[in-house]
Amino acid sequence: MKVLDIQNITKVYTDSEIEVKAVNDVSLSFSQGEFAAIVGPSGSGKTTLLNIIGGLDKPTEGEIVINSMNINKLSSSELIHFRLHNIGFVFQAYNLIPVLTAKENVEFIMELQGKSKAEREKRSLELLSGVGLVDRINSRPAKLSGGQQQRVAVARALASKPMFVLADEPTANLDSKSTETLLEIMEKLNREENITFIFSTHDQRVVNKARRVITVEDGRIVSDKSNS
Amino acid sequence: MIWSVSWRNIWRSKTRSLVIITAIALGVFAGVYTIAFMIGWVNQRINGVINTEVSHLQIHQADYLETNEVHCYIPNIGEIRDNIANNEGVKAVSSRLIASCMISSAETSSGILLTGINPKCERETSNVHTKIIKGKYFEGVKRNPIIIGEKLAQKLKVKVRSKLVITVTEMDGTISGGAFRVAGIFKTANSAFDEAKAFVRISDLQKLLNIEDNVGHEIAILMNKNGGENIIAQKLRRQYPKLNIMTWEELLPDIKMLNESTDFSLYIYVVIILLSLGFGIVNTMLMVILERVKEFGMLMAIGMSKIRVFTMVVLETVFLSFVGGCVGIVLALGLIALTGKIGLDLSLWAEGLNSLGFEAIIYPEIGTVPVVVVTVLVIITGILSAIYPARKAIKLNPAEALRMDT
């Protein structure tokens, strides 16, 4: 089942009258349960492409259809609501809410969705258990290591039961061991919850784990291969 | 959870939050204490006016207040007085004879308003007897005792038991005089009153004016509590249409205006304080937004609606304002309770204050309404101060905000 379809996406930034095509006529589609990596050097347009896919940025041209909905036509408020229910995000710098505990961070997104307290508690415990942090549920981000924070971020991204998770260089700030643990957890959740994971990365360890690798250079897709 | 997040957010930068809370607390403290000070001050003046000078209501013959003529008296004043005394809410009634006269000592003389009273009745309607600082209230001098103010005593250079000669114009226009002896000297908060008023027994003044019995120029009515005078005034106006019945507010419109304008000007003062604090809060919250650009980007990226982000920032600001406001109010109430008991001594400026009719020792007081009004104003200030920073937050583009290095 196709969850995401982008057609002829172009994103042009204008800086001091110089036009820069960050994404240049990109078409891609992702099916449910994919574990895909978008790779490429810095400045190749990976993050811009991910932001457009996630509805954080609007393309200059082209269409993005998620679950049969063209999100280009949504207002910024409608996009926020759409993201809440359909897309999970994992950021490079974890970006947890510093004043909330690990459990509260995971519950927060479900509260935004209007889920009941009982449901929030059950799912947050399930997810934190799944990422191996059941003993740290009451710790605030400042008391967690980088790897642990990113695992909370993954749990948070999955809490809303999204159609897919976008992870922008999720391992960039992690050491090898944390990277390995995080990738194993994400792979396991991908398998168990059948949720599509799309990463942007230039970390070879992530690339090695991905089942599909899309290479971007100068805003264009130069290869799109399955990684067996 | 937004309430909880907002509350916790304000303690992320404890020093900054404490600084702004302290600023708000000090501003509110100053505002509330000033209100209490002014209310106490004005109420003392009003109580002085009512209890010492004019009572709640006064009744005169129609032309009396314009002419001050001796012949403008109220006949059958005893019956009227007794009838008024039977009304509900009336605490005490006193009838008076009044004459403009010249009072002379061995040294000098002065023009005053001499009031003939029944000392027993007068004790109920006026507290002048409690203001005696030398001698006694109509005691110690058997024949023609007179009570004068300290200021007049100083002017005439007399003391207790000194002799004074009073010259009045009788009913028929004849000038007559009588010798009186100072029985007591009073001192009120109003030095002008102390200088211009003197009291003698009504029977002595009747003889001096050669005026018949059971007449008087003034009936003073003291109510059980403030505020009841308007109802009784309306009733008496219907009952005695030919008499001039006036409340203390009508007799002294400047005091009424002082009372009304004080409330209004105090709220203006508090609003000015809060306005200046509001700019401080806006500045602080703008710093908060600037520091948390990435976080706001993340919140909107993961699906927190703009209205929720807006609410979160507003709540943070309101919490800051509310905590500061509460601390300020509690501190102010504590000081009001303390100084309300022991008084705030402004004796250094006593002469100036007394010349305007104000006490030199102020007892601040405050009711529930001003406290509630200030609390509401603080919350409104918090909400208004949050609007601009909160708008800044929701106008952020999530993708750009997430790229920021904050």
Higher pLDDT among residues A173 and B329, named by residue: B329
From the list B12, B295, B303, which residue is nearest A80 (CB)?
Answer: B303
Residues near A193 by beta carbon (within 8 Å), at least 6 away in sequence:
A158, A161
Residues in chain B with CB shorter than 8 Å from the CB of A84 are 302-305
- Check CB contact under 8 Å for A80 and B299: no
The pLDDT assigned to B356 comes to: 78
Q: B94 lies in a domain?
A: yes
What digits encode the pLDDT tens for the residues A44-92?
888 899 999 999 988 999 999 988 888 888 888 899 999 999 999 998 8
Q: Does residue B78 lie in a domain region?
A: yes
Interface check for A169 against chain B (CB to CB < 8 A): the answer is no
Range in A13-22, B1-10, B379-388 the model is least confident about: A13-22
Which contiguous run of DSSP H or E holds residue B137? none
Does pLDDT of B116 surpass 60?
yes
- What pLDDT does B384 receive? 92
d(CA B211, CA B172): 10
Average pLDDT value for residue range B292-307: 92
Does pLDDT of B337 surpass 60?
yes
Tell me how far apart the alpha carbons of residues B184 and B201 are, in angstroms, rounded to a whole number.
13
Higher pLDDT, B360 or B5: B5
| DSSP SS3 for B157 | coil
Q: In whole angstroms, what is the distance from residue B349 CA to residue B358 CA?
A: 10
Q: Mean pLDDT over residues B17-31, rounded?
A: 91
pLDDT band at residue B90, thresholds of 50, 70 and 90? Answer: very high
Q: Does A105 touch chain B (CB under 8 A)?
A: no
Q: Are residues B40 and B137 in the same domain?
A: no
Q: Where among B207, B225, B243 does a domain terminate? A: B225
| DSSP-derived 3-state class of residue B30 | helix
Q: Give the pLDDT of residue B201.
A: 95
Which pLDDT does position A2 carry in this prediction? 81
Written as six digits, the tokens of A205 are 């360890």
A71 with A86: CB under 8 angstroms? no
Count up the domains in chain B and report the number. 2
User: How far is the C-alpha of B79 from the C-alpha of B85, rounded, in Å?
Assistant: 10
pLDDT value at residue A68:
83
CA–CA separation, B67 and B72 (whole Å): 8
CB B28, CB B374: distance < 8 Å: yes
Query: Mutation test of the interface with chain B: which of A71, A80, A105, A168, choosing the one with the most B Cβ atoms within 10 A?
Result: A80
The H helix count followed by the E strand count for chain A is 7, 10
Let me know whether B293 and B189 are in one domain. no
Instruction: Strands of B303-348 (E only): list them.
Output: 344-345
Query: Does a structural domain hold residue B233?
Result: no
Residue B251: inside a domain: no
Encode A21-54: b = buried (16+ Cβ within 10 Å), e = exposed: bbbbebebebeebbbbbbbbeeebbbbbbbbbbb
Inter-axis angle of helices B14-48 and B306-342, nearest 10: 40
Q: Is A87 exposed, middle or buried (0-12, 13-18, 19+ CB in 10 A)?
A: buried
Q: How far apart are CA B55 and CA B125, in angstroms?
A: 7
* Ordered structural domains, chain A, with CATH: 35-59+74-226 (3.40.50.300)
Domain check: are B110 and B155 in the same one?
yes
Cα distances (angstroms) measured from residue B59 to each of B106, B219, B232, B248, B317: 36, 5, 12, 11, 56
Mean pLDDT rounded to a whole number for chain A? 90
How do residues A96-135 score in pLDDT, each as one tens digit?
999 999 999 999 999 999 999 999 999 999 889 888 888 9
Last residue within a domain, chosen from B202, B225, B248: B225
Rounded distance between C-alpha atoms, residue B178 and residue A37, angstroms:
117
Pairing of strands B175-186, B145-149: parallel
Region A195-201: what's the mean pLDDT? Answer: 91
Interface check for A224 against chain B (CB to CB < 8 A): the answer is no
DSSP A98-150: TTS-HHHHHHHHHHHTT--HHHHHHHHHHHHHHTT-GGGTT--GGGS-HHHHH
- DSSP one-letter code for B348: G
A109 touches chain B (CB under 8 A): yes
**Does residue B307 sit in the same domain as residue B184?**
no
Confidence bin at B339 (pLDDT 50/70/90): very high
* Residue with token string 């922008």: A168
Distance CA A132, CA B249 (A): 78
DSSP assigned state of A219: T
| Domain co-membership, B79 together with B215 | yes
Residue A42 tokens, joined: 């810095």
The answer to whether the CB atoms of A100 and B399 lie below 8 A apart is: no
Residue of A nearest to B5 (CA): A99
| pLDDT computed for residue B350 by the predictor | 81
State the average pLDDT over residues B281-300: 91
Q: With 60 as the cut, is the pLDDT of residue B406 above it?
A: no
| Distance (Å) of CA A227 to CA A5, A26, A40, A206, B67 | 20, 20, 16, 11, 113
Whether residue B158 is found in the same domain as residue B276: no
Q: What number of other Cβ atoms are within 10 A of residue B181's Cβ?
A: 18
| pLDDT for A228 | 64
Instruction: Tell the residue number behind the tokens 């992870």, with chain if given.
Output: A167
Q: Residue B118 corresponds to which amino acid?
A: N
pLDDT tens profile B213-270: 889 999 999 999 888 889 999 999 999 999 999 999 999 888 888 888 887 888 888 8
- If pLDDT is split at 50, 70 and 90, which confidence band does A14 have? confident
Distances in Å between the alpha carbon of A202 and those of A50, A149, A172? 14, 21, 8
In this structure, are B91 and B170 located in the same domain? yes
pLDDT grade for A21, boundaries at 50, 70 and 90: confident
Tens digit of pLDDT for each residue in A164-180?
A: 999 998 888 888 888 88
Is B236 part of a structural domain of the chain? Answer: no
Is the Cβ–Cβ distance between B37 and B362 less than 8 Å? yes
Residues B208 and B65 both lie in one domain: yes
Same domain for B281 and B395, yes or no, is yes
Q: Is B96 exposed, middle or buried (0-12, 13-18, 19+ CB in 10 A)?
A: buried
**How many CA atoms lie within 13 Å of B14's alpha carbon, on the beta-carbon side?**
0
- Give the per-residue pLDDT at B405: 63
Specify if B383 maps to a domain: yes
Per-residue confidence band for B189, with pLDDT thresholds at 50, 70 and 90:
confident
pLDDT, residue B2, reads 86
**Length in residues, chain B:** 406
Structural domain includes residue B84? yes
Residue numbers of the domain that contains B43 = 2-49+256-403
Residue A20 is encoded by which pair of tokens? 């820069």
- Asked if B261 and B140 sit in the same domain, the reply is no
B167: phi then psi, degrees, rounded to nearest 5: -115, 125
In a domain, B72, yes or no: yes
The pLDDT value recorded for residue A17 is: 76
Which residues in chain A are contacts of B398 at CB distance < 8 A? 56
Is residue B149 within 8 Å of residue B193, measured between CB atoms? yes
Question: Based on the domain organization, do B289 and B207 belong to the same domain?
Answer: no
Please state the rounded mean pLDDT for residues B128-143.
Answer: 91
Q: Among partner residues B12, B295, B303, which is closest to A112 by beta-carbon distance? A: B303
Secondary-structure breakdown of chain B: helix, strand, coil percentages, each rounded to the nearest 5: 60, 20, 20
What's the pLDDT at A13?
Answer: 86
Cα B143 from chain centre: 40
Q: What is the average pLDDT score of chain B?
A: 90
Looking at the complex, report in whole angstroms how far the Cα of residue A228 sits from the nearest Cα belonging to chain B.
32
Same domain, B263 and B390: yes
Q: Which residue of B has its CA nearest to A90?
A: B302
Beta bridge partners of B246: B58
